[in-house]
Chains A and B, each alone.
Chain A
Amino acid sequence: MRVALIGQPNCGKSTLFNQVAGYKAETGNFSGTTVTFTESKVRVGGQIVEVVDLPGTYALEGTNPAERESALYLGSKHVDVIVNVLDATHLAQGLELSLELLSLKKPLVIAMNMMDEATRLGLHIDGLALSAAMGVPVLPLVASKGRGVKNLFLATLEAVRQPPDTKKRLEIGCDSLGRHAQALELMERFTRRGESRVSLRDRLDDVLLHSVWGYLILLLVLLAFFEAVYGIGQLTEPPLLVLFDAITRWVVSNTGGRAFLGQLVLGVMQGISAGVAIVLPYLLPFLFGLGILEDVGYLPRVAFLMDALMHRMGLHGKAIVPFILGYGCNVPAVMATRTLEDQRERYLAAALATLVPCAARLAVVFGLVAFYLGPLAAFGLYVFNLFVIALTGRILTGLMPEDTPGLILEMPTYRIPTFRNVLGKAWFRVREFVVEAWPVLIAGSAVLAILNFFNAETFFNWSLRPLTWALGLPSQVGVPLIFGILRKELSLVMLGQALGTVDFASVLTTTQMLTYTVFVMFYIPCLATLSVLRRELGTRAMLAITALTVVVALVAALVVRGVAVFFL
C-alpha cells in the first residue's frame, strides 16, 4: 500500500515523514526544501505501508519543476491514499489545494498540521464540521512534536479499507478563482478567531527586517555563527590531531616503517585521522548551526534583505535558498535550483551556487587559513568569496540578459526549532560524510601513499606545473589539487602528505596559503556536484560551469596573490 504526502510548501510534510520514517528527508522552515520525492517503508498497525514525501506544491498545475514532480507522481504511480497536509494557520490557502485533490476521486485524508501554533494565534478550527462539509476525514496534527501522527495513520488505513463515497464529497469550483472563493468561504465558516497572542513576530521583524538594523544583525549573526564554528573546531582539533599522530606513529612503526606496507598503512591512517581530527571538528558545529538557522525561519528574511543585491547579480531573492544550502553541500544546492521557474535563472543559480564554499571546502579554509592566520582571515576569505560570486553573476547576467520576473516568496512564522529535529538533520548530513566521503578520503590518501612510494606523483605535479608556477605554489600541490576534484577535503588532507608535514606554516608562506585556499574555494566542483549538474542541467551546462569555475579560480587566486605580495 502506498501513501502519498502532499501539501503546500512549508506545511510540514517532511517533518511528518521524518516522524514516521526516521530522519531521511531534508527539512527547513522555508519553502522548497524538498525538491524530489523520498520513499520509505513504515509499519503502521501491523501493516507495512510505503510512505512518499512529495515536494510542496501550491496547486496541481505547478509552474516550477519541483511542483510538476508532485503532480506527475500523483498521476502516474499507484497511489492508494493521499494524505493532504495543511498548515492550520494558513487554512484558506491550503484548502485551495485540498479542493483540487478532492476532484481526483482517490481516498483522501486531511492532516491539519501546526495545531499548536493555530491555538497560539487564537484560531479555533472546527475539524469535525469541516470534515462533514468536505466529505473526507480531517485530523489534527503537530508533526514537529509527533502529536497526532498515530491517529492520522490509523485514519489513513481506515480510508483505504472503506473506499470513500466520492458522491458525498463537496462540489468544487471548476477554476482557480472559484476554488479560491470556496476555500475562503470554508475557512470563514469553520474557524473562529479568538484573542491572538502574537505580535512577537511583528516586533521581531521590525528589527530583523529593518533597513539598517536588519543588515547589521545579519552580519552579526553570520559572524557569530562563524566564530562559534571556529571556536568549537579550535577546541577539539589539536587534541584529536595529537592523539591520531601518536596512534599513527605507533601503527606505522609496527608495520614496517619505510617499507611499502608501512607507507600504505600510513596513508590509510592519515585518511582516517583527517576525517576525525580535521573535518568533523568543524563540520559538526557547522551543520548543527545551519540546522538551527534553517528551522528558526531566518533564511527567508535573509532572502528579503538580500533581494536587491541578488537582483544586481541577475537573480532574485528566492535563489538565496540554493546559495545557503550550498554552504552545507553543493549537491542539494544544485538540486534546489528546481524551485526556480526560469531555465536561464536555473543555469545562473547553479553556476553561482557551485562557487559557494561547501562544508568540505570549509575544512580547507579552517584547517589552513583560520588555523594558521586566524579566524578573521578566514572570514575575510568568505567575504571575498561572496564578492567574487556577485561579480561573476554580474558578468554572466551581462552575457545572458533577460528580465527576471521578480521575487514572490512566502515569509514563514518564526519557530523555535526542536532539538530532536536539528540533531536528526545534523546527523543525516554527517552520516553522508561518514558513509560517502570518508571512504573516498581514506582510499585517496592510500593511493597517494602508493604514488609517493613509486615516485609517480612527479608526473602529475609536472603536468600541473604551469598552473602551480603561475600561482607561486610549490610543485607538490599538484596532486592534492587533482585529488581535490574527487572530494574537496582531499586538497587539505593530501597537502600534508605531499609536503611531508602537517605543520603547514613551516613549508608555506602566508601568501601561498591564501592563494592555495582561494584557488581551492573556486576551481572545478567535486565529483558528486559534477554528476548532479549533469543530471539536472545536462552535459553541456556541466562542462560550461566547470570551465567557468577554473577561470574564476585562476583569476581570483592571481588577484589574491598579487594583493598579498604587495601588502605582506
Chain B
Amino acid sequence: MKLLEVQPGEQVKVTGFEGGKGLQAKLTQHGIYPGDCLRLLRKAPLGGPLLVEVNQRELALGRGVAARIIVEVIPCESL
C-alpha cells in the first residue's frame, strides 16, 4: 500500500520506495528510511501535501512523493 492511501491518524511502517535514486536519497536525507514508523497527521486540501510525523519530527510531503513511499499497516511501538 502507498503512503498516499493512508488515512490521517494511522500509523504505518515504511517498507520501501518506488522511483529513482534521487528521490530515495532525498527521503533518507530527511530521515525517512525503510523500517521507520510514520504517523499521518493531516492532508492539505485540493491535492496539497501530507503532514507526517517520523522520529519525533514533522515533515510535509507532496502527493507525488507520498505516492512513491510503500508502507504497511503495522502497529509501531516507537511512536
Contact = CB atoms under 8 A, between A and B. Distances in A.
Nearest to A91: B56
Interface string B45-64: 11111010001111111111
A249 to B, nearest CB: 57
A177 B64 contact: no
A407 B60 contact: yes
A311 interface: yes
Contacts of B31: 58, 92-93, 96, 180
B76 interface: no
Contacts of A517: none
A411 interface: yes
B49 A180 contact: no
Contacts of B61: 406-408
A272 to B, nearest CB: 46
Contact of A407 (B28, B46, B58, B62): B62
A406 B44 contact: no
A89 B46 CA distance: 32
Contacts of A305: 44, 48
Nearest to B34: A177
Given A180-B28, A211-B44, A311-B47, A303 B60 contact: yes
A209 B33 contact: no
B70 interface: no
Contacts of B30: 58, 408, 410
B56 to A, nearest CB: 7
B19 to A, nearest CB: 9
Interface residues of B, number: 31
A393 interface: no
B27 A408 contact: yes
A46 B53 CA distance: 46
Interface residues of A, number: 36
B51 A184 contact: no
A297 to B, nearest CB: 11
Interface in A293-345: 300, 303-305, 307-309, 311, 316-317, 341
A411 B54 CA distance: 11
B28 A89 contact: no
A65 to B, nearest CB: 14
A459 to B, nearest CB: 52
A151 interface: no
Contact of A89 (B23, B26, B56, B66): B56
Interface in A400-423: 403-411
Given A209-B51, A307-B44, A308-B45, A411 B28 contact: no
A63 B24 CA distance: 11
A59 B60 contact: no
A300 B23 contact: no
Residue among A176, A300, A303, A308 with the highest chain B CB neighbour number at 10 A: A308
Contacts of B55: 90, 92-93, 184
B28 A405 contact: no
A307 B49 contact: yes
Contacts of A403: 64
A316 B42 CA distance: 18
B25 interface: yes
Contacts of A404: 64
A316 B45 contact: no
A316 B57 CA distance: 21
Interface of B: 22-23, 25-31, 33, 41-42, 44-49, 51, 55-66
Given A93-B31, A205-B42, A406-B66, 14 more contacts: A62-B29, A90-B55, A93-B55, A177-B33, A209-B44, A303-B60, A304-B49, A307-B60, A308-B48, A317-B60, A406-B49, A407-B49, A409-B49, A410-B60
19 contacts: A63-B22, A90-B57, A92-B31, A177-B33, A180-B31, A184-B55, A209-B42, A211-B45, A304-B44, A307-B62, A317-B62, A405-B22, A405-B64, A406-B64, A406-B65, A408-B60, A408-B61, A409-B59, A410-B58
- 6 closest A-B pairs by beta carbon, nearest first, are A406-B62, A406-B64, A407-B62, A308-B48, A58-B29, A211-B45
